[in-house]
Amino acid sequence: VYQQSQSFVNTPWKAYVEGDYSAISDKAKQGALLFLRETTASGAGCATCHSGDFFTNEKFEAIGFPQIGPGKGKKGAATDDDLGRGALITTPGLDYRFRNTSLLNIAATGPYGHAGAYQTLEEVVEHYADAEATVARYFSNGGWCQLEQFSTVTGCASLYPDAESNTEKSREMVLSENDNGRGMLDINLRPRDIAQIVAFLNTLTDPCILQRECVANWIPKPLDAPDGHQLNARGKDGKRL
């Protein structure tokens, strides 16, 4: 039965490309140039995978993000070494490949990566600039335990004992692709470039989803549930989400 549709695509970037040149900052405009240009043209080459209206080509790539949490092994078996596409298809070379996600509303959809390992967009872009250093820093700083959702978990550090070694296996796939000329990491980005790309990424989010009153039409009232079992979420501050 059809219920309701949600479509949050009225982003500052959309307004900009439709002619409102004041819709995004100069910093974000510089970030857009870096994002859209190929690496051979002094860009970051992000649009190679994140292109089109939804900023994704829907393909599967090996990126080497930190491997945390449960995943799927061969034939869908439960494991903490998530093989991504390779868990479902036996064609060689598909291990640790995950679908290139849409970047629409990316500012509100963290944590990031297929396993939700990175807390910020800055970390994600830094990963593309220097994956080895970013992953090493991630684990040395406490790994998943630095994420907000793990902040109250007792024994957090012992949850995923193989996370670092599993991540190294996925990174080896990325290094292999780099050797074959298909790699996408270790892009030459300065701190200023990273900040500009993040500023651009933030323009891909519809302001509506950040305002409760704007999404109120899709939030049922506390007493709307016909069976009395509706979950009415509240944030840490006690306010309704």
Task: Return per-residue pLDDT of the chain as tens, 241 residues.
Answer: 456 778 899 999 999 999 999 999 999 999 999 999 999 899 999 999 999 999 999 999 999 999 999 988 887 788 889 999 989 888 888 899 999 999 999 999 999 999 999 999 999 999 999 999 999 999 999 999 999 989 999 999 999 999 999 999 998 888 877 666 566 677 889 999 999 999 999 999 999 998 988 988 888 787 777 777 888 888 888 888 7
**Domain contains 35:** yes
- Name the pTM for this structure: 0.89
Nearest Cα residue to 62 out of 94, 108, 101? 94
Nearest Cα residue to 32 out of 193, 205, 187, 207? 193
**Domain contains 234:** no
**Domain contains 199:** yes
Nearest Cα residue to 185 out of 173, 169, 193? 173
Q: Convert the pLDDT of each residue in 5-31 to its tens digit.
A: 788 999 999 999 999 999 999 999 999
The pLDDT assigned to 1 comes to: 46
Structure tokens at 226: 């016909």
**Domain contains 228:** no
Q: How many domains does the chain have?
A: 1
**Domain contains 158:** yes
* Whole-Å CA distances, 222 to 192, 196, 228, 231, 233: 46, 41, 9, 8, 9
**Domain contains 229:** no
Q: Which domain holds residue 156?
A: 12-218
Is residue 144 within 8 Å of residue 160, measured between CB atoms? yes
**Domain contains 172:** yes
**Domain contains 241:** no
Q: Convert the pLDDT of each residue in 158-199 to its tens digit.
A: 999 999 999 999 988 888 776 665 666 778 899 999 999 999
CATH number at residue 17: 1.10.760.10
